[in-house]
Structures are given as C-alpha cells and as structure tokens.
Structure 1
C-alpha cells in the first residue's frame, strides 16, 4: 500500500490545479449525471420516522438488483442472494470475511487492481499472484492452477479488467471452472471464485459479457454503481451469491450476510443511496462519448508508436511505456503538467494507465505532450 499512498500524496493537489491534465484515477471531470442528483433528491425527504434509521440491505434495493442480474446474466437470482454494500470495496471485504479464515491464501490477478493486496493483508489473508498473459493480458488458466495450494480459499477474477480493459469470454470461465473443481477435490476444501465486476456495464463495440457465475456454481459477484454512474464518492454496491450454489450452502451463506456485514464495520450503503437504487439501476455514463474518447487517445498513441492494449471495457487505456521505463515516462509528462498512472502500482514497472474520464478537451490538449515525450524516450532508448 506504500506505493499507492505515495502516489496519492503526489497528486493530491491536482483537483485545485486548473492547468493540470489529470488522467490518473477514474474520477469525474464534469458535473454529475442529472439523473443521479434527481434520484437522490427524490429520496431525501423522510416518509417515516425510521427513514434515516440504521439500514442493512433494503428489500426494495435487493429486489431491483436481483431483477437486473436476472436480465443481464440469465440466472435466477433472488433478493435474498443480494447483500447491499458500501461500493465494491464493501462487497469485496464481505466476500473475504465470508469465505476465508486468517492465514488462508487468495489468488489475485497481476496486473490487477492495486487494492486487492492491502485489503487481504489487513484481513490477515495472504495474497498469491497469478500473472495474466504478458502479451494479450488474457486470463492465464495455467498460472492460476499453479498458484493454488492447500491453503487457497478464494480466487479473484476481474472482467472487464482494470487496468487492461480486457473482457474474458465464457470459454475462459469454463476452463477455469474445471481447474477449480479439480483443485477443490485434490485439496479437500471448496475454492470460491470472487468475480469482481464493477465495470460490467462499461463495454465497447458490442462486446458480450459472460460472468463466471454461470460456469462455476461456487461464485459470488461484487459490483459498484460508482463506475457506471461515474460517482465513486457515492458508495453503493452489492455482493451477489450465484443462484447455482447448492440450496443448503446458499441458505447458510444468506444467513451469514447480515452478521458479517455488521462485523466488517457496518458495510451497508446509506439509506438514501439504497432508496435510490430503482432509479439508479437504469442510469449510465454516455458510452458513445466514452468510446470517442477511447478512440481519440488510443489512435493518437498507436500512431505515435506506443504499444497500447485496445480496451474492450472499463474507462482505461493500458500501454507499454516508450523507452521501457514507466517512471521516466510519467516524470517527463508531469514536467509538462500531464499526469498518468505508473504501472508500478500494478507491479508492472514498464507500463502505464490512462483514465478516459477526463474531458475531450483535456485529451486533445494532452495528446501533443504524450506524442512528443514518446518520441523523445524512444529516440533515447538503448538499441
């Protein structure tokens, strides 16, 4: 977590710098969706004395989420399968508490979200890294199989994937299911799959989405509304139990959701956010505009000779730093007032990540700097 903390400290003042071109985190750079404030405003005035009382998972929110999952994934989710949480952070914490004991190992993808590891260590769990394919960043099933030991309790997968933007096909989940079933039998304990899906509704070019919950029954899904609404400061998410989990085990898990949600620090969303779920479920950032941003930035970088993975989902671009050293690339850009995220935060010191949540004007202003720095570093790189 030291690297993440240091990076936060470095860029803390960017929001107050009107001249800074900030492509670091997936934060909004324009006013929020009107529907978001409308949905929340409609729920602010209390309609009963307990309107702002302690809330766990509100039934109305659970019903909407279950219906949405049934429509999206074609699986028979029920309201009782849903635990409302403080964003995906809360859902992931709940999953770790639900399926792992102190000292257990949890397999995480690399490159992957930089908060998996510190969250696991804070829960007295041991992160075990499984590398993605180094060229395509596809899920490497063999690498996951090698990472599993008798102490493994959970495997984490992320699709659409942060930072690479890859969306994994159903065939990958079928292959992974075989590995997890075999490993569970071999080690005499059930290995659970946590499908980290906060970018599920942010996909480009009509790319299909498949959840491993349809391929491996012992799957739970975490989700965050903060991505599709581009409002990460309004904490709302959920953990969903796959309806394919056998009935008895599913009943035990349902019973555990409330006490564990309480135990991890009252991990439920605020009242107004839960009341707003029916309206929020249908809202989304402008995907056509996001696609235009992706194409503008991706095209400019590729034309400049930068190796970039074309994202199928998320709002990030993942590229290999010109000259091979992301720190030098990021430092040279910062000297010009352009800020991107160094790959070292993802344990990939040769790569960088760009957030496309910046404005199109910022993208247009940043491109000449990106192109010039890339040319300088490529020219000076050893041959």
Structure 2
C-alpha cells in the first residue's frame, strides 16, 4: 500500500549519525508492538517482553533454543506449517506429530496428552491456523493448559507452548481472538508482520513473553544472548524505525471476508467439501480425488495455483490462498468447476 511505502521511505531518512548503525530492539518499535499486543490479547505486556526478530521464522527458532536441549521432543499437530519440522530438527530436537479432529480442525487434546513423554519440552500451536483457518476457542486452550500442567507435574519438567500467531489480527465474523498466553504463562508468542502487511519479503516480527512467565527476566536475558549467538537475529534498522507507523496500518478484514465467502459458497455449489475458515487468508478444501498432488496439477492446467495437502503432511486436501484480487478469485471459479468435473470423469 502507499502508506506502507511511505512508512519505509520516511524511516530511511537519517535522524542522526548512527541511524544505520547496529540496532537491537529499538525502544520505540518495542513499545509500539507491546501496546498493540496489549490491546489484542489483553495482557499487560511491557516493551522489554518484545524481542524483535527477522520474521516469525526467527522467533520460533529462538523459542525452541531458549528452553529445549538436544534430544528433547516437540509436539505439534497435523497439518502443520510446513517448516516446523525443519526448525525443530535444526535445533537438534525431535518432532512428534499428532492428528487433529478432522471434522472441526480443532486440537485433539487426547492425542497431545498421549504423545507427551519425559522428553517433551515444547508444544507448538498455530492459531489462527495455517492451513486450516481454525481459531482455537478459549475452552480448548484452557483444557490444553490443564493437560500441560498435569503432564509437567507428572514428568517433573515444565512443558512450554510456542504459539505461532502471524494471523492473530486476521479473524472473521466479528470473533475475538484468544491467545494461549492468556491461559498458560509458560509460553512464547511468535509474530510476523509479513501476513497482515502482505509484505513477507520485509522480514520483521517478534518473540513475546507473557507478563506472568516465571523467571521472566532470566528468559529475557537468554533470548537476547541467543539473538547474537544465532547470527544477529534482529530486523534491519530501517524496519525497526518504521514499526510504529506500520503498527497503525490495518488489514482489510471486510475485503478478505468477502473473498472467503465468495470462494467457499462457490466451491460448495460446485461440489467441493470445504470449511469456512475462521481466520487467516487460507481455505483447506478436500481434494475431490485421493491424489491431491494430481488434482493440484489438474487445477494448474486451468491456470489455478494451489498447494497440495501433502506439503502439510495431510494428503487428500489442498490449500487456497485468498491474497489474489477479488476479480482474480471470481475469474478462477470456472476453472475450479472444470477441474472438479475433470476429476470426477
């Protein structure tokens, strides 16, 4: 947007001789992020709880390394964001994958509880979820907190949540987003600005600590040390200076809700089985044939590019992104109908 470009252009203008020097956690940027997060999550975050990173990738990597030792286990649900496994393995940790409720796309808390062992150190959540669009309700998050408290007491070792929340401002139908940090203080919040600003190439995000986290000051120190030790995981100076203005920009919920409704209603009329996503800008329909990769190729032949469910370790589905224009989405509908007919033939 023009406002986005103007914010970056203004931040490029030096205010002093050290404007382009090493910049670690610019105070104004941290305060802007903390203020925004306080309004969203209704927890009293302080500026020092915000650790600015080069996007959500780095925030998750920092959280993994801050509390887990090599060989520890990390539990997450399928379908996941497709780079969780790479981040877990790079940290020397062991991925443990569990299924979800296929009817609701909600967490399967019994499966999570059954997967916990004495080596479990972290549970990764993504809400609103990529790729399903599910927003985990408060009741689910409360029950998960109870599961993790009980398991931590039983194993004698605290289990942490890493809450991956790059879409926490993208929630539809007037729903209120609830973060796992509201229910469980042994948690990290990983955020990326790339989704709400639709600018993923400009790498800026943060790792936030909840105000009630035990030993919070020690954890702040550990994360600061890791940001240097892992290769200076701070955003470039210009993005940090621009952040207060970037926080003022708003994602067009109404437009994306219109795009979601248009696509869901049209796909259902064609015959697809698809849930109406509660958040994110994705849909995760079932493939009309078992081989989702083959169906993705059928769509591609008609000029429609989507991602197969196998990328998300969930064969039989495919992911649609609604970041195209409304006109492009409307123009794609005959292609979706033709692909469905071809698959049924």
If the TM-score is normalised by the length of the shorter chain, which range does it land in? Answer: over 0.9
Q: Distance in 1 between matches of 2:326 and 2:41?
A: 33
Match of 2:237 in 1: 271
Match of 1:333 in 2: 299
Match of 1:194 in 2: 162
Q: Distance in 2 between matches of 1:207 and 1:312?
A: 8
Deviation at 1:219, TM superposition (A): 1.1
User: Taking structure 1 as the reference length, what is the TM-score of the superposition?
Assistant: 0.88
SS in 2 for 1:323: coil
Moved >2 Å (runs of 4+) = none
Is the CA contact 2:169–2:251 (under 8 Å) kept in the aligned structure 1?
no
Match of 1:112 in 2: 80
Can you list the C-alpha shifts for 1:305-355, whole angstroms capped at 9, x where unaligned? 100111010000100001232112111111222211100001111000000
Is the CA contact 1:56–1:258 (under 8 Å) kept in the aligned structure 2?
no
Deviation at 1:136, TM superposition (A): 1.2
Out of 22, 27, 51, which is 1:59 matched to? Answer: 27
**Greater relative contact order (CA < 8 Å, ≥ 6 in sequence):** 1
Match of 1:258 in 2: 224
Match of 2:47 in 1: 79
Match of 1:98 in 2: 66
1:184 aligns with 2:152: yes
Q: Distance in 2 between matches of 1:179 and 1:311?
A: 26
Is the CA contact 1:214–1:244 (under 8 Å) kept in the aligned structure 2?
no
1:221 aligns with 2:159: no
1:366 aligns with 2:332: yes
Out of 191, 205, 208, which is 1:237 matched to? Answer: 205
Deviation at 1:285, TM superposition (A): 2.9
Out of 108, 131, 143, which is 1:163 matched to? Answer: 131
Out of 279, 286, 295, which is 2:252 matched to? Answer: 286
SS in 2 for 1:308: coil
Q: Distance in 1 between matches of 2:340 and 2:220?
A: 52
Deviation at 1:359, TM superposition (A): 1.5
Structure 1 residue ranges without an equivalent (≥5): 1-32
Can you list the C-alpha shifts for 1:102-127, whole angstroms capped at 9, x where unaligned? 11110112011000001111111111
SS in 2 for 1:96: helix
Q: Distance in 1 between matches of 2:68 and 2:282?
A: 31
Deviation at 1:87, TM superposition (A): 0.7
Q: Distance in 1 between matches of 2:302 and 2:338?
A: 11
Deviation at 1:375, TM superposition (A): 2.2
Deviation at 1:289, TM superposition (A): 1.4
Matches within 5 A, 1:300-311: 300-311=266-277
User: Taking structure 2 as the reference length, what is the TM-score of the superposition?
Assistant: 0.98
Structure 2 residue ranges without an equivalent (≥5): none
CA RMSD of aligned residues (A): 1.0
Can you list the C-alpha shifts for 1:176-211, whole angstroms capped at 9, x where unaligned? 011000111111111001111100001111111111
Can you list the C-alpha shifts for 1:43-96, whole angstroms capped at 9, x where unaligned? 101111211111211111111111112111111111111100011111001101
SS in 1 for 2:283: strand
